[in-house]
Structure 1
């Protein structure tokens, strides 16, 4: 028995949950089938010789003693148990007589493949999450070194496949900015910035954030420290620029939100966030919020502002604002409000991606999140065939529902892109939903 198990280890591809169906259907027979043109390999004969081992099923004591050995091969063990339960331990007679019971053939022999874990409609391809692979509608190269180290297939996210869209809305100019860049062979960088009091701050962050991240990544191994230092440095350099060149101009009070993601080896995601732009992760077809809006409604944020002498007052629409001016409690820039507790220090969060379950990462500005919930953004994206279509549809839907602000969306596809596809491409229109209050920054 030990020798037989050792021999089986040489042919791991035969050890599968459907291996017993090969024997039952007569596709493999150690006895030989005169009516069959299939020839069995030596490994297939070894596998069938174990399945038809009469003593293994008849002698209950020996079978119990060998359970521990068989559990080293979990798929093989489950195959034998399934054979024993379905055929009453008479697998030997089924094979030797070449009897073909009415067992449904595996779908791969029919030429039709479907994903049993797919939440939406059936599609071509099959997902093997149990062995570390994924089902994806987008062709992604594999990171060989990282896959070997982790024991799972790790895809390399192609930057050209990332979808982006930014619409003006009902504003005079678009103050939203986004950035996508490969910092090194290990790191990718995604960012979204929503400027207020002009686009000077958001434009500055779009241009300089990648350089600051690269600088600190070369000196600091902790990505959380890298993001924190980058936010502080950029705020200080922006303050110097505004003080030197825009002191007597309305642009002196310019500021911007920032949601910055640093992705290492396509699996380790670190997010730095200030303001009300958002990062969302689609896992299992459900939305996971990776950021929390920094506004005066948050008790912790409100206490910090009030402790520094700031005042939270609502505007005519009931939106709370810091000193009646700013609707967020953290941002880069906005120098006149720094002494009242409006800080540039980001909130940091880390997340390990699972490409077998994670379909995409979405970055959206408040022009989108103000009228669409996180789950609605996920549902719209899941209905699209590619990330570019998804980004455009999300922003279009935001304007349809009455968003007055600039609407920007960035969709980064991950390993399970397309796995949770839905049939509906849009959310049901509601006339009353368009009556949303205007919100100023």
Structure 2
């Protein structure tokens, strides 16, 4: 039995026992048996991370291969894609595999984002539906305020007990894990004013025999998202962007409707013209920020799914707002085109954002798919990027004069 310690800077040390089955490689079938491919290889997942001009780093990331209940995955695939996936055809070892990639952007300090980097993948794997009734009581009674009227969201089937209930799907698991983070942090004063956004990429390949996500013919993609980190899909057909996330700001379509319905209006525009919820937070969904939770700031992730077939998609890019505040979605995915490996692509995205003058903490993660290296059509933002670089260089020269 493994023992997890939540001993991050600024947090009290507590412990909870569970069996940790996640690992840092992905298995795939081969004629000679199972192969293990390390996720940390720059050819498997590419990461670029910088603190920019700031004196501290609040951006973090993590990746792992989780071991989840095949029945839960079967239910998820059926619900999201109407596919009757049979886990017995690939065997239990492969059927349980879900590649987890997380990007976390902290605010008010780095404590919560560091906690997520070290703990969220293990927590996501270990949560169980039996935890939901107690968690629901904590949400409605202890958090209160906005959450007094919370009805359970994706966890609704299990809030009054789990006997004779079905397994969760990935949407319910994501909600349970994110709320459990807040519950774990609730006793520590640091998390009252410190928080983080998070986007999780979950890749579950459906091939038989099992293939890794970067060469699979059919992969179920699930994105669990909370805040303004961004997850983008790049198509091999012309390099078109498919956006898997929406920024959770108070003036966004989804969030403005949710908050007006439950809380009225607490949206304040600062002197820079930026909207802030309660006059303090740019994001209305986050982990941590516990003193704002009773006013409608929720950790519940927005979950979106997509079936990735054949070589239709080239790669996934995840970026923090240190990148997305400088670059459009099209520019982000175009910068990764033609790179020899995912690490080079991530470095190129981050470097370009910094060349334009970006000084914030910034992270770019590139995850290759079966269509890597096969994008057709021209680089549609090349001329724009060259112009923007010239403008940035001219502005820098004027500044130094």
Partner-residue secondary structure (3-state), 2:201: strand
- The match for 1:224 is 171
Show structure 1 runs of 5+ residues with no match. Answer: 1-139, 146-154, 436-441
C-alpha spacing 1:261/1:303, structure 2 compared with 1 (3 Å):
same
Shift of 1:429: 3.8
Partner of 1:167: 50
Contact kept, 8 Å, 2:182 with 2:290, in 1: the verdict is no
Residue 378 of structure 1 corresponds to which residue in structure 2?
A: 333
Partner SS, residue 183 of structure 1 = strand
Structure 2 equivalent of residue 328 of structure 1:
283
Instruction: Give how far 1:299 is off.
Output: 3.6
What is the aligned partner in structure 2 of residue 389 from structure 1?
344
Match of 1:79 in 2: none
Q: CA RMSD in A?
A: 2.8
Tell whether the 8 Å contact from 1:379 to 1:422 is kept in structure 2 after alignment: no
Residue of structure 1 aligned with 2:303, choices 348, 351, 361: 348
For the residue of structure 1 that corresponds to 2:317, the secondary structure is strand
| Deviation of the 1:210 alpha carbon | 1.1
Name the residue aligned to 1:360: 315
* Cα distance between partner residues in 2 of 1:303 and 1:415: 38
Q: 1:302 aligns to what?
A: 256
1:412 is matched with which residue: 325, 348, 367?
A: 367
- Which of 353-362 and 254-263 deviates more? 353-362
How far did 1:239 drift?
1.8
Deviation string, structure 1 residues 237-286 (Cα, Å, up to 9, x no partner): 1222x24xx4xxxx630000010122112411111101000111112221
Q: Which residue of 2 aligns with 1:428?
A: 386
Aligned to 1:236: 183
Q: Contact conserved, 2:235 with 2:375, CA < 8 A, in 1?
A: no
Cα distance between partner residues in 1 of 2:363 and 2:349: 9
Judging changes above 3 Å, is the alpha-carbon distance between structure 1 residues 295 and 355 closer, same or farther for their aligned structure 2 residues? same
**Are 1:179 and 2:86 counterparts?**
no
Aligned to 2:200: 260
Map of 1:293 onto structure 2: 247
1:112-136 CA-to-partner distances (Å, cap 9, x unmatched) read: xxxxxxxxxxxxxxxxxxxxxxxxx
Name the stretch that deviates more: 411-420 or 182-191: 182-191
Q: Deviations over 1:135-193 (max 9, x none)?
A: xxxxx996579xxxxxxxxx998622210010111212110000111113411100000
Q: Which residue number in structure 2 is paired with residue 197 of structure 1?
A: 108
Larger Rg: 1
* Cα displacement (A) at 1:302: 2.5
| Cα distance change, pair 180–362 in 1 and its aligned pair in 2 (3 A) | same
Aligned length: 281
Query: Aligned partners of 1:351 and 1:217: how far apart in 2?
Result: 24
How far does residue 404 in structure 1 lie from its aligned partner after superposition?
3.0
Larger fraction in strand: 2
Kept in 2, the 8 Å contact 1:163–1:412? The answer is yes
Where in structure 2 are there 5+ consecutive unaligned residues? Answer: 1-25, 68-93, 131-166, 206-212, 214-218, 396-401
Contact 2:321 2:362 in 1 (8 A): yes
The structure with higher relative contact order (CA 8 Å, sep 6+) is 2
Displacement after TM superposition at 1:304 (Å): 3.5
Structure 1 residues 429, 169: closer, same or farther in 2, change over 3 A?
farther
Q: Is the 8 A contact 2:103 2:198 kept in 1?
A: yes
Work out whether residues 283 and 359 of structure 1, in 8 Å CA contact, stay in contact via their aligned partners in 2.
yes
Give the Cα separation in 2 of the matches to 1:271 and 1:157. 23
What is the rounded CA distance, in whole Å, between the counterparts of 1:227 and 1:260 in structure 2? 9
Q: Residue by residue, what CA displacement relative to the aligned partner does 1:301-343 show, whole Å, maximum 9, x if unpaired?
A: 1243344255111111101001221111110111121121111
Distance 1:322 1:387, change over 3 A: same
Distance change in 2, residues 1:164/1:183 (3 Å) = same
Deviation at 1:236, TM superposition (A): 1.2
Task: Say whether the 8 Å CA contact 1:382–1:422 is kept in structure 2.
Answer: no
Aligned to 2:79: none
Pairwise mapping of residues 65-84 of structure 1 onto structure 2 (< 5 A)? none
**Contact 1:367–1:407 (CA<8 Å) still a contact in 2?**
yes
Is the partner of 2:336 in helix, strand or coil?
helix
8 Å contact kept, 1:287–1:375: yes
When normalised by structure 2's length, the TM-score is 0.64
Match of 1:47 in 2: none
